[in-house]
Structure 1
């Protein structure tokens, strides 16, 4: 039974360790996720600052290109006739080469439109611009007021230019156009250059895509960085059909401004919208493309509106969204390592616990065996002592008879009465012990009575009708129980004067149980009421005592489903009452 209790205790310990491990695992998981999110926010902030610096630099570079286009426009005006009808396409082609332009086009205003009238490139000729929003608005302002007032693009004297964009006349190329008109000609001058010949080299060296690529290399936990246009995201690439039936992309309205977008998820549209409209950070913990990732969406306000990022209506954006994708494997590896370490610790602790329990149980059994052997030896000694007393009485019987005969013959009546009274008391005392009905207890009481005589202790025993003892407790356990209680009482009364040393043991049989009560003198009885008297190792006695006596008594009583309690019913007297069912 005790072995099962120890095994149950070990299982409970292992279970508690397992629960603790699980709690620690998920706590660590949450902590690592929070740490990764903070790291992503920090990286996003650095990217935001770097992007703004890079974008600002790119805008400044484009402004220099704009000034170059204006200078080319003025040079072209000086080289050409103010009448568009007197300008040839070949002249424009020659000027384009000399001024290092991709081409030069002249725009003419008609009653209801503005058209590409003359050009160094045949592809440019004949295009109407009334569908080019907001470009057409800028052209009209330049013709009417010699300046452009729309809130994006670069504005110089008599000049306006927009961002690099795909060309309507050549949908495969990205170009930047400048528009110049000062009222001295009947046409608008439009020189243009390609992205590859100017901006491409700059962006490759310092642009946002370069920055994103470098950041991904330096942050192994990041899998993707995307700069998102929240106004056009989810609509796909912005395109229109040209007059020639070709599909024209719009770079400035592209839903993905910079970076890549490989970790696509159905929730992205809602998350981008939430981040943009509420101006808050949004996290997404999900499996995308078969990979566990954490996505972060951070809105970034644009202080200086630019022409390179437009909404679906061609208006400059107020805000864009940065999306970061982080590989959850970095967290999982740490968690797996922690889990293995804790599993090893649990295994080691469990093994050590088993070893310690085994050693403890072995030592406990040896101790119990030692106590049992000692009890058996005491039991045999007490039985032998009882038998020896009986044999001594029988051996001395002849001597007693002769003494009685002599006293009677001599007529010494008083001496005879005294002698027979003394002899009768001794015989009655021994007979009372024998009449207890249990040889083991009788022997114990006989031995304790003799010990009491030596210790000058008034020892009294009252046993009534305990003939059912053999149906319940083993005699060995009963002698251990009573022996420890009596010894405990002797130890206490020896602290007092001889006339105060009193120990009384009483036993009786009641319905369903038998009761033992051991009382002794105790001048400090009130102090014992709240003491852990039955706890192993506790002792209130002075000197070297193990503190195991009452603990052993309680263990024996509980073994037989009984109970023991301390009673203080008389002043300066304590009584231990034991009830054991039969």
Structure 2
């Protein structure tokens, strides 16, 4: 029995340890995935913050550009006041002097010829003679300004009274340089005034506080950010647009550049194009992880929807405007070195793994200790029960031996009383002897030696405590199969002991305990009844371990829980009645043995 119990306990312990390990492993991987998700969410939040910074920078750049445009208008007014209204009386040298005086790069004067304009005078001699005929939308704006003295039809660019300025645009004589051009015409001259400055001023602004400066600051402060770039979704992944200026130089206009600002060295064009398209279509952040240029990267794409792309300085003039393309969104791309994130994540997960391992080891040790403790407790309980069982059998057999030993003495006493004619004393003495023999025979006729031994020991215990202990059994000669005597010794012993303890609280004349048992209709029934009642608070919890009505230190409160566990093991029931005395009834289904 003990070996079987030990085996079951070991298997249960192993199962609990395995469950703990599996549970911790699942928790580890769930935590890993959650941490990765948190890192990605954090990066996306960081990307949104960068987007906000860049948007503010873009607005600052647009504001500076508008200031430059307004200065060019002030310069145009100064030029108009200083020059002859007839272009025939204006020289290129005058324009050179005025440009130096006003602190601008150059001044050109445009005259109308048919449906276009020609640069008739200029402080940049190489531009003299250029025509705006192929300048697309720019030429349309010039015609409206010349005819209406204002630009009202076109929303593009910045407009003031008698004045219009476009975004920074490539020079028609130098594809490597961009300029800010202003155009003024109020009808007081026979030419349009065109002052302009190079993009050097904006470049200086960008390098100090603009987008380029912001990107440099961000990547310097956070080495895990490899690069930040502004992506043109309409051009990314497409064939490059090639334009040609009046000097025959080819270039890709900024408006059609795949990258508006920053760099895009860490690019997987197929994945980039897919995620850029998804970001635009869903209007949500998109990301992917991949190995690019020897780096494991996380690349995030944030769609930006704005109607002020022109203010970002991304449009150009001349032949580009012939394509008539509208663009009201772009995408900020942030490439992050994912290995650094993985290193941080690995550190966190390593710490978590160590904690989980320690918890597993501690829990395992606790389980093993509990297993050892309960094994010892079960073994001790079985040993105590076995010892009680043996002790009670020995007591029964000892009484029988005493009766056999005293038999001759009883015969001699009876003979002597008969010889002297003491018949009343003889009758009294024989009744006592017969009664004692009858009690022993009643115990032996119960049908189960262990149960008989238990009754014998409880009779002795009851006599010592001045308790009237009565018992009655029927149909018990064929004790049922599959019922272990040791279990019923434990069950009935606990119930009888509880009954004895309860009646010990009342006067001796009221101390009564009754035990009955029978096998009937395939069920084994035992009941133990004693005088008194059980407190309601105890009644509701009497089968819980540690709950007892006895004075502190007298009992551990384990008798009834043990009895209940044995009854349940045999699929039986235990009923408690607390009306006319306290009565415990055990009912267990059994298969009776054949009577021998």
TM-score (norm 1): 0.81
Aligned to 1:401: 411
Q: CA RMSD in A?
A: 4.1
Shift in alpha-carbon separation, 1:334–1:157, aligned structure 2, 3 A: same
SS in 2 for 1:265: helix
Tell me the residue number matched to 1:278: none
Deviation of residue 328 (structure 1)?
A: 8.2
Paired residues for 1:366-515 under 5 Å: 366-466=376-476, 469=479, 471-510=481-520, 515=524
Give the 3-state SS of the residue equivalent to 1:107 in structure 2.
Answer: strand
1:541-560 matched pairs, under 5 angstroms:
541-544=550-553, 545-558=555-568
CA spacing shift, 1:380–1:255, aligned 2, 3 Å: closer
Question: 1:260 maps to which residue?
Answer: 263
**Equivalents in 2 of 1:33, 1:185: separation in Å?**
62
The residue number in structure 2 matching 1:251 is: 254
Residue 422 of structure 1: how far off its partner (Å): 1.8
Q: Which residue of 2 aligns with 1:52?
A: 59
Tell me how far apart the structure 2 counterparts of residues 73 and 161 of structure 1 sit (CA, whole Å): 17
Q: Which region of structure 1 is more displaced relative to structure 2, 91-100 or 405-414?
A: 91-100
Name the structure 2 match of 1:272: 280
1:158–1:433 CA distance, 2 compared to 1 (3 A): closer
How far apart are 1:359 and its partner, in Å? 1.9
- Displacement of 1:532 in angstroms is 3.4
Q: Aligned partners of 1:154 and 1:360: how far apart in 2?
A: 84
**Residue 166 (structure 2) aligned to one of 156, 162, 171:** 162
* Structure with greater contact order relative to length (CA < 8 Å, sep ≥ 6): 2
Q: Does 1:2 align with 2:6?
A: no
What SS does structure 2 have at the residue aligned with 1:266? helix
Name the residue aligned to 1:131. 134
* Cα distance in 1 for residues equivalent to 2:160 and 2:393: 127
Counterpart of 1:540? Answer: 549
**CA separation in 2, counterparts of 1:156 and 1:429?**
129
Match of 1:351 among 340, 353, 361: 361
- Deviation at 1:546? 0.5
The aligned counterpart of 1:295 is 301
Instruction: Specify the alignment match of 1:279 in structure 2.
Output: none
Deviations 1:363-387 (A, max 9, x none): 2233333333333333333222222
Corresponding residue for residue 5 of structure 2? none
TM-score by length of 2: 0.80
Unaligned runs of 5+ residues in structure 2 are: 1-7, 592-596
Structure 1 residue runs of 5 or longer lacking an equivalent are 276-281
Q: Name the CA distance, whole Å, in 2 between partners of 1:10 and 1:522.
A: 49
Preserved contact between residue 481 and residue 553 of structure 1 (Cα < 8 Å): yes
1:488 deviates by 2.0
Question: 1:179-258 residue pairs with structure 2 within 5 A?
Answer: 179=183, 186-188=190-192, 190=194, 192-196=196-200, 198-220=201-223, 222-227=225-230, 239-242=242-245, 246-251=249-254, 254=257, 256-258=259-261
Deviates more, 1:154-163 or 1:385-394: 154-163
